[in-house]
Structure 1
Amino acid sequence: MTENTNLPAATQAELGELERALDGVPMRTRAAMLLMTVGETDAAEVLKHLGPKEVQRVGTAMSTMPELRQEQIEGAVRLFLEEVGGQSGLGVGANDYIRNMLTQALGDEKAAGLIDRIILGGNTTGLDTLKWMDARAVADVIRNEHPQIQTIVLAYLDADQASDVLALFPEKVRLDIIMRVASLESVQPAALQELNNILEKQFSSSAGTQAQTLGGVKTAAEIMNYLDSSVETELMDGIKEVDEDLATEISDLMFVFDNLIDLDDRGIQALLREVSTESLKIALRGAENDLANKILDNMSRRAAEILRDDMESMGPIKVSEVEVAQKEILGIARRMSDAGEIALGGAGGEDML
């Protein structure tokens, strides 16, 4: 970025105006707006320092950028300048911009798949490479491997990606893997070496020398959180038949949509800044009244009135659509919790997700 010293520091009143201009614009969209203003080269340098999920979120925000007012774009840039200073000119259209930026960041070969899906690429090897891959591709890589190898992979992946991979296996295999994940505690270097050897031809991997803590009941619960309700129920029933105590332990650690009521007001407000109104109004159709009221109480009066009107005017909504919206919001909440932006308490009480 090139430093810009011509802009004076904004006053508190000006900062307030900037925030109001951006009201309702999620943080990931603001980040995408910034990357669209700094030029392809600088944006590519930023992307090199992001992880798979961060690239996915920002890249998707870029590719689905809504129509924004000029004051919103200027507001996002100005607020950013208040913290770090510096900007450069706006580039080309979104599709060409993303293609050129990712090619500069990752090279032609790695960017080819990333351009199609917005979630591939990066200078990663071994297990880390799997985090950039489509769930079906990961499932194909490990489908014929030993169940313990499959377990290590699932435990290593982020919970949402792991749940997508797990859902692609037959019911009996899913049950075996999730039970193994729950009982896994650590992985020795020899096991990681074996796994990396399997992936070596495809990913030019190399193994570490330290044992890693992977899996456990909490990891199993996090993976279960992301499964479709029908698959989750089926899997939980299977676990109960094998080990009822384990099923209870996993259930206690799972975090469901209605648990969001345990967030304090500040946490609710932070979450609302990241959630789209469309997802929220669908998700609240299946929420307990206390949670819906708490969320509405933490919105501005006008925003709450509009949301209530939208919900009342909505026609019948499929349960599956409500579940998808709720899982989307839960995914955002978990990411914010991981980043230390909000505090989520599991159903089990003291543990933090």
Structure 2
Amino acid sequence: MIRKGKAVTDANKLTGPEKAAVVLLALGEEHITIWENLDDEEIKEISQAMAGLGTVSSSVVEDLLVEFVSGMSAAGALMGSFEQTQRLLGAFLPPEKVETLMEEIRGPAGRTMWDKLGNVNEAVLANYLKNEYPQTVAVVLSKVKSDHAARVLAALPEDFALECVTRMLRMEPVQREILDKIEQTLRTEFMSNLARTSKRDSHEAMAEIFNSFDRQTEARFLAALEERSRESAERIRALMFVFEDLSKLDPGGVQTLLRAVEKDQLALGLKGASDALREMFFSNMSERAAKIMREDMESMGPVRLRDVDQAQMSMVQVAKDLAAKGEIMLAGAGGDDELIY
């Protein structure tokens, strides 16, 4: 209803869409990008309310803005994303500058280059450094924390690692311009490529969704998708990390996972596992623990496939959480050398 004559003086008498309309009007054209986060129905509803507002008193505007800000602070209500950030930066920066900034943001966290390197997985960093001069590697490893340097050295080819150690022992203070050059090379050749390859595409997101399906639903969706786009179905299948992929864990990873998984979930998950995967878990238990686990599984009798799926999904999620913390390393389904961090 269009309000004529009298000004709106009581915020409590406004509907939700009218309140949103007042806030958006107060923010003005400078914040027009907010509208991009609304769906068509919301835009229509708020636009209709806005057109019918009439005059709104300054006290009402102030009350609503305070309510708006209070609501955000209470709920942490601002949702940021790479895409939203990139779009906002693009409004006042040239495209090449935006891309450089976004690559920095997508890369590992840290204020300085050496902080960032400290948050790069040692296997990834070692894979890059093994192609550099030993003296350059020595400089880089002298700038990161000792525990991280140790893990990187352990991941390098042994002869090359020993050469780097020798250079580090003989190292003298490095000139500032040489250090700056190494830092710039790391930024342009390593960090930028790392940021590009870490961009998340829609197939990765969909693979995570498919990982959460039960077995029948997953099979049904993949079969239907194959009929429409075989390429997409194959990419999603390759990106999915499924229960049987736990067979690629090293012994240390298996033992870490065993300590983290609830025993009843483990028994239920292994009940539906392949013989090879089941034996891999048993071989990493003590003889007594393996015997008890086998007895527990036998005493279960027949179990529902849905319960087994749920237990296996729970184990996979625990494994992913451990991998995210750097406590285990998971080999991805996409290839023998692909890693999930």
Whether TM exceeds 0.5 here: the answer is no
Q: Is the radius of gyration larger for structure 1 or structure 2?
A: 2
Q: TM-score, structure 2 length as denominator?
A: 0.43
Q: TM-score, structure 1 length as denominator?
A: 0.42
